[in-house]
Structure 1
Amino acid sequence: MAMVTARASGNPYIFRLFGNFTTQFRSYASRSSIFQNSVAHLEKLIQTRCKSRNLTVEEALGYFNSMIQIRPIPSIWAFNQLFGSLSNMNQYSTVVSMYRVMMGCDHFRPDVGTMNIVIKCFCCLKKVKFGFSVLGTIFKGGHRHDASTLNTLLDGLCKEGSFAAASELFQEIVEKEHPYSDFTFAIIINGFCKARETWKALELLKQMFNNQRIKPTLHCFSPIIDSFCKEGRIDEALSLFLDMIDCGVVPNIICYNALIFGLSKSGRWEEARRVLADMLDFGVSPDTITCTTLIDSLCKENKTQEAISLFELMTRKGIEPNVWTFNSLIFTLCKHGRWKEVTDFIENMTNYGVSPDIVTYNILLDAQCKQGRTTGALHLVEAIINKGALPDGMTYSFLLNRLCHSGRFEEAERLFGDMASQKIFPDNITLNVILNALSDEGMMEKSQKLVDAMIEQNKELNIITYNILIKGYCLQGKMDKAKDVFDQMAKKGVLPDTISYNTLVNGYARINKFGIALKLYNDMIQKGLAPNHVTHNTLKKIRAYRRKASIQ
């Protein structure tokens, strides 16, 4: 045991457990008479416990520590079974730590199966480069890697977003004729689709038709069909779907859901219904996503009663709704002011074991704000927090809008302070609404404080935000501050537009600083900005004032 502890590296918690559970395991082993009959009994027990699917991490650690101490050392398949079970339990770090201990043990000879499990664990931990180190160990040991080895590394690269590296590895696999399978192509096709390079995925699919070794499978077609639907390329998705069926590939629920989503989103209801009918003819039963996709689309088309009827049908058929299903219905009911049904659906959620999420609360909050119920909205936010849900930027944005529109600026300021303390900031649309309201009330100090807080957090402000500030200062005659904002926006890489210049020109004209106003006008022309009717009206006023002054 001292040798194992000395050589062990990795997770110290695991190795403390090794010591703790060795004693427990020995007691258990004694009671079961495992060691009375030889290593074969230990291997049989491990096989049985792994197949039972109720193996605990602590139990696995106990088995492992005993396996590396007894002689002769158990066969590699026993280790692989233990590793495989832990990997399926998402105990990736545990497997990696065990592997490192094993590599320090004499007489231990891992095979490709062992290495594949360890590579998978490194990839799941988003440490693909360590997975490649294990691949190097395979080569050094004189082992022959299989398709699963390289597929795991390829999938790991795609999942961590290293699509260029994944593409390079794929090319090497194919060109150097390493072991590969249809799943190898499916992985890279899916990766291209996630990188929004659907055309590359389609090219690869076409190459598969000319490949003598493999033919495209469902997992090669479905990511492209899904991408086409999300990109609004519905006709191409339908065409590829038919090609897939012609190839003898049977579609699954994922393919059908993608098509129904795309068709419904595009308002092609009759075609969506036909796809649903085809799906049923193929013996594929609709699931929660199928029904919810249709319900959500019906709600967006203001076909509220049809959406409710479909909800009732899906629940009668035993298809469980999820929070997205309820949110879609609650949103459309709020939109049409059907408050009694909103209450019914919220109460109905708990009957299906579904808890409202922050989207649910935001829908209700938005409805309260649009109804002008500021106090009710504030109470709802308190209820959200009391239920343990964390308000997000949307929650605060709805409430800030409402508070500003109802003139409750002190409360809005306090709310913004709460947001800033939680590192939550409004989006530019909400920010501009707030600034407009403050500017109209002449509260430029509060406006500037709000903008400064956003800049401190490295938030990018848009041209509208700067123009609102310039307008507010100009209305107060504070032209120095208005010009400071104008200069600051250029430093931030936001180029002034015609509105920016018009506001400043008009502001200087109002305080009779016509020379500066005309200089700004000339600067605007030199920058290639086209004057509009506001510009021309301001210039007319300047000329009229100058003519009057010259006569006097």
Structure 2
Amino acid sequence: MAAAAAASQPWCGGFSHRRRRRGRSSAAVACSEELSRDRYDAEIQRRCKAGEVDASMALLGRMESVGLRPAEPSSAALIAALGAVGRTLEAEAIFLNIGPPPPSPFSFNALLRALLLKGQLAHAHHLFEEMRQRGCTPNRETHLLMLDALSRANRADEAWAAAADMKARGYKLGAAAYTRLVRLCRVNGMWRRAAALVLEMQAEGLRPGRAVYHEAIEAMGRSGRTVEMAAVLESMRRAGVAPGAATWASLVRWHCRAGEVDVALGLLREMLGQGVYPDPKVLLGLISRLGEQGRWTEIRDLFEEMRVWGFRHSGAVFAALADIYGQYGAFAGPEQLVTALKSEGVALTPAVFCALANAYAQQGLCEEAVRVFKQMEEEGIELNLVMLNSLINAFGIAGRWQEARAVFEHVKEAGITPDVISYTALMKAFVRAREYHRVAEIFREMEVAGCTPDRRARELLNDVSMILQQRGRSPQKVSPPPCTKTL
């Protein structure tokens, strides 16, 4: 039986002195006398609800030892409690002992949720198919669980098929499912479908929330559709949904990348006027664009406006980033820059350090970027994947692909799983160094590692493939030369 091992474990001890004085608790009664099946079921469900998994399994063991079987609601409660703590094997064993009659959708959903919580999508898919084969009709919750899991795994085609199946069966998606689908559009650059989903939500009588609007704006920004972004922003305003800091940051960032610096400046001023704290990355992108156009007077004016509006700390970060771009030259290096920020009372968060490192990286100043991270470590902040990605990018811009590869290997050796940004940054480093044959290697490594390539990574691979075809060569496997760590 599923609870055979747990049956011998004591489960009725450890009660407080206060409870002893009041009389015997339900657990004490269960220890001293045999309970009916209904009493067992009620006690198991109560303990599962309280998160007492071991005590619930011990009760199940006692129940089976006297020849009783739990009712299906008790089994479903046990499956849910075990799944919440990752004990899926025991949950499956209990599921297999249900019946006759066969399990209901409620029990199937409990096990399905347990498997998905542990990331066992393939196993969950088999369970979903088994549910249909056994004549148990999936309900709305079942479909929503699968749709959410497929969206999280970025399995776009299967997610769209699951959504279409739900609609065909007359089930409404709901706001959470629409949010997941719009986020899936953002990841895959499907801006038209994101816009259609927002309109579909409104037609269904659902009010799109801030998260839906933000994901739609991100999807359009990644495709360079700034006109459509402005339309979504206007739709937000008409609906009475105020953009959050992340949405403002997306609007400014994508307009900057599209070369619409004046629009980005207007959006930043509107953001500041509403009292929203600007992210250092937003300031970095804007300074970069203005600096490329030689508009240093406007940089200085914006700095003064931030001071007037009371964004003293943001203004200090803004001045530091502008200094990195070489306009003022007030600081000799990262150490003096960090000291100046501390004197202004700026909280030196990982976001601030990342913005400083990115500013140096965009100038190809690798050593300075490394010194920023050393300063960060001295402040007691540990390196994370975002910061290491910045360092890979810095070496890539400088054409030093060996060091970029060394940082990438350091990431893996440190037990950190590289993400799609890590792989794409390394691919770009190889492209800048004209090491085209290594790009396909990294792309294959990314797929083998289970990391889904994004649109940018696929575009890089296609560009490199065309270059190699023009040269009459095909991508070959070349093992990277040994290189020393830079960290």
Match of 1:304 among 262, 265, 288: 265
Match status 1:21 vs 2:15: yes
Question: What amino acid is the match of 1:309?
Answer: E
Q: In structure 1, the residue corresponding to 2:97 is in which secondary structure?
A: helix
Deviation at 1:331, TM superposition (A): 4.6
Structure 1 partner of 2:106: 148
Structure 2 partner of 1:189: 147
Q: For the pair shown, which has the larger CA radius of gyration, 1 or 2? A: 1
Alpha carbons of 1:277 and 1:415: their partners in 2 closer, same or farther (altered >3 Å)? Answer: closer
Match status 1:215 vs 2:216: no
Deviation at 1:177, TM superposition (A): 2.5
Q: For structure 2, list consecutive stretches of 5 or more residues without a partner in the other structure.
A: 256-260, 289-298, 414-422, 443-470, 475-487
Question: What amino acid is the match of 1:191?
Answer: A
Q: Distance in 2 between matches of 1:453 and 1:21?
A: 54
Structure 1 partner of 2:135: 177
Q: Distance in 2 between matches of 1:455 and 1:277?
A: 46
Alpha carbons of 1:65 and 1:377: their partners in 2 closer, same or farther (altered >3 Å)? Answer: farther
Question: What amino acid is the match of 1:76?
Answer: D
Alpha carbons of 1:68 and 1:396: their partners in 2 closer, same or farther (altered >3 Å)? Answer: farther
Structure 2 partner of 1:206: 164
Match status 1:99 vs 2:56: yes
Question: What amino acid is the match of 2:151?
Answer: C
Structure 2 partner of 1:137: 97
Structure 1 partner of 2:303: 339
Report if aligned partners of 1:193, 1:224 keep a CA contact under 8 Å in 2. yes
Higher relative contact order, chain-length normalized (CA < 8 Å, sep 6+): 2
Report if aligned partners of 1:245, 1:251 keep a CA contact under 8 Å in 2. yes
Structure 2 partner of 1:49: none
Q: Distance in 1 between matches of 2:56 and 2:107?
A: 17
CA RMSD of aligned residues (A): 5.4
Match status 1:83 vs 2:48: yes
Q: In structure 2, the residue corresponding to 1:178 is in which secondary structure?
A: coil
Alpha carbons of 1:160 and 1:375: their partners in 2 closer, same or farther (altered >3 Å)? Answer: farther
Cα deviation digits, residues 480-502 of structure 1 (max 9, x gap): xxxxxx9xx99x979xxxxxxxx
Structure 2 partner of 1:286: 241
Structure 2 partner of 1:43: none
Report if aligned partners of 2:185, 2:194 keep a CA contact under 8 Å in 1. yes
Q: Distance in 2 between matches of 1:450 and 1:256?
A: 36
Number of matched residues? 391
Structure 1 partner of 2:392: 428
Q: Distance in 1 between matches of 2:85 and 2:112?
A: 14
Q: Distance in 1 between matches of 2:267 and 2:428?
A: 43
Q: In structure 2, the residue corresponding to 1:117 is in which secondary structure?
A: helix
Cα deviation digits, residues 289-313 of structure 1 (max 9, x gap): 4x64145304542433434435544
Q: Distance in 2 between matches of 1:364 and 1:67?
A: 71
TM-score, structure 2 normalization = 0.59
1:536-547 matches, within 5 Å, as none
Identity %: 11
Cα deviation digits, residues 115-162 of structure 1 (max 9, x gap): 3333223333344333222212334xx465332322233234344433
1:501-512 matches, within 5 Å, as none
Between Structure 1 and Structure 2, which shows a larger proportion of helix residues? 1
TM-score, structure 1 normalization = 0.54
Q: Distance in 1 between matches of 2:282 and 2:404?
A: 36
Deviation at 1:21, TM superposition (A): 3.3
Report if aligned partners of 2:334, 2:372 keep a CA contact under 8 Å in 1. no
1:352-391 matches, within 5 Å, as 366-371=321-326, 372=329, 374-375=331-332, 377-379=334-336, 381=338, 389=349
Structure 2 partner of 1:226: 183
Q: In structure 2, the residue corresponding to 1:115 is in which secondary structure?
A: helix
